Amino acid sequence: MPPPLTRRAIFAQAWPIMIGQASVPLVAIVDTAVIGQTGDAIALAGVALGSIVITFLFWTFGFLRMGMTGLTAQAEGAGDKGEVDAMLVRGVAAGFVIGAALFALQAVLTPLALALFAGGGALDEAARGYITARFFGAPAALGYFALVGWLFGLGATRRALALQVVMNLINAGLDILFVWHFDMGARGVGLGTAIAEWSALVLGIALCWGLLAPNIADRLKRPARLFAREAMGRLFSVNFDIMVRTIALLMLFAWFTNAGARLGPVQLGANLVLDQFILVAAYVLDAFAFTAESRVGMAIGRGSRAELLRAARLTGEFSLAAGIVFAAAILIAGNPVIDLLTSNEAVREAAYPYIWLVALIPLLGMPAWLLDGIFIGATRGAALRNAAILATACYIATDLLLRPWGATGLWAAMLASYLFRAAFLGLYLPGLLRSVPDRLAEARRAL
């Protein structure tokens, strides 16, 4: 039985995610600061370029996190404990296999990915070192996606918090060691992250074991049932649309990075610094989106349209409040934080003029992030897919239209992309509500 749908319960579920998610961009900030304080603009831009390549490759399979949350929450809401346990085994195994395939194919994927960006020369070399190191963590990273999605689906957010904090502390510590002590540059940042991912996967399996049914060891001896064709087919068929959605959004962010690279390494480095503000806001606001995923999934599993609506309203209230707070904080503290992140004066000067546009993103991007959570929890992949494709197409058209305005047009188009995402998902919301039969209300009327 899930906890009651009250503001207190929603916040109790969300705050561990909030802290854990906040630590993710904080590590990215450490990465940026560690490289930025060396004063090497090429290394800083190399991490930016390498990060978007790895994000594109790894988050192509982000359905292992997102789809797992919705499917697990629905199974939990329906009271199917056996399916809940099986979802974890299937998801982690699928992530490990896909990650191993990425590792094996890196010799082909790396040059192909770098060819898509306007880098070249020393910038490509720095990015290549980062990317090569990150591939060592690919199996662990994708397995970890599935594991965290499973925990979110159950609402076991404190365990997810413990995992996230441990991984990020290891990551930050190793980055400092490899870059400042061993002078490994961008490659050191990537290697620290890869080692942290392996550490988190091992710890995560240990933490999740206590949530599984006592007979899970016996069931693991019969893999034919856990990995039955029908069960695996459902896992991938449900999530195929989510994968297409993720690829579309990754193309959007890759286009943004490529557009920044065309403006030169200094502007690309400035964009990386400004991205840290968006990452912090997005990851913290995602705490309420992830809570919406779990609560909406459980509501659908229980057949309660009323619970779905209440979950959406309560998580929406928290999301709006957080968006306002972050917008104000970025406006007030933006320039001093930029100074902390990089000592390169040219990068600082390139970043200062756009802080006001960045400050608008938490406020105007909040509806898109929340609606993502609602539709992921409902496992409505087609709506997510179509909205992402349309939003990406509109964003690219907007960026091309605003290209004569340089970096101002670049950031204005990115801001518009969040409005496009929210608008297109919003068109599907009435249909989602109509599709959920309120079985609990029908049962009460029958009594």
Does 197 reside within a domain?
yes
pLDDT given for residue 97 in this prediction? 93
Burial (CB count <10 Å: 0-12, 13-18, 19+), residue 138:
buried
Quick check: is 370 in a domain? Answer: yes
What confidence score (pLDDT) does residue 86 get? 83
Q: What tokens appear for 21 in the block? A: 């998610």
CA pair distance 127, 114, nearest whole angstrom: 8
Query: CA-to-CA distance for 287 and 304, rounded, in angstroms?
Result: 23
Estimate the share of the chain in helix, then strand, then coil, as percent rounded to the nearest 5: 90, 0, 10
Distances (CA, A) of 59 to 63, 66, 206, 215: 8, 10, 24, 33
Which pLDDT belongs to residue 364? 93
Instruction: Say if 447 falls within a structural domain.
Output: no
Give this prediction's pTM.
0.76
* Chain CA centroid to CA 9, Å: 23
Q: Count the domains in the chain.
A: 1
Cβ proximity of 395 and 258 under 8 Å:
no
Q: Specify if 241 maps to a domain.
A: yes
The 10 Å Cβ neighbour count of residue 162 is 17
Q: What is the pLDDT along the chain (447 residues), one digit of tens a residue?
A: 555 678 888 888 888 877 776 666 566 667 667 776 666 677 777 777 787 788 778 877 877 888 888 888 888 888 877 778 888 888 898 899 999 999 999 889 888 878 776 556 777 777 888 889 999 999 999 999 999 999 988 888 888 888 888 888 898 889 888 888 887 878 888 898 899 999 999 999 988 887 776 666 555 556 666 666 666 666 676 678 888 998 898 889 889 988 888 888 888 888 888 988 888 888 788 889 989 988 998 889 888 888 899 999 999 999 999 999 999 999 999 899 998 887 888 888 889 999 999 999 999 999 999 999 999 988 888 899 999 999 999 999 999 999 999 899 999 999 999 999 999 999 999 999 988 877 655 555 555
Long-range CB pairs of 261-267 (<8 Å, 24+ gap) are: 261/45, 261/49, 261/117, 261/118, 261/119, 261/123, 262/118, 263/406, 263/407, 263/410, 265/41, 265/42, 265/45, 265/123, 266/41, 266/344, 266/346, 266/347, 266/350, 267/350, 267/407
Report the pLDDT value the prediction gives residue 55, as an integer from 0 to 100: 78
Q: Are 431 and 382 in contact (CB under 8 A)?
A: no
Residue 282: per-residue pLDDT: 86
- Is 446 among the domain residues? no
At residue 237's C-alpha, the angle toward residues 234 and 242, to 5°, is 125
Check residue 220 and give its pLDDT: 59
CB 425 within 8 A of CB 372: yes
Q: Is 177 exposed, middle or buried (0-12, 13-18, 19+ CB in 10 A)?
A: middle
pLDDT at 347: 86
Residue 2 counted as domain residue: no
**Structural domain boundaries, residue 55:** 7-441
**Residue 219: exposed, middle, or buried by beta-carbon count in 10 A (0-12, 13-18, 19+)?**
middle
Based on C-alpha coordinates, what's the Rg of the chain? 21
Contact 414, 364 (CB under 8 A): no
Tokens of 57: 């490759």
Whether 73 is in a domain gets the answer: yes
Report how far residue 17's alpha carbon sits from residue 290's, in angstroms, rounded to the nearest whole number.
Answer: 8
Enclosing H/E stretch for 250: helix 229-262
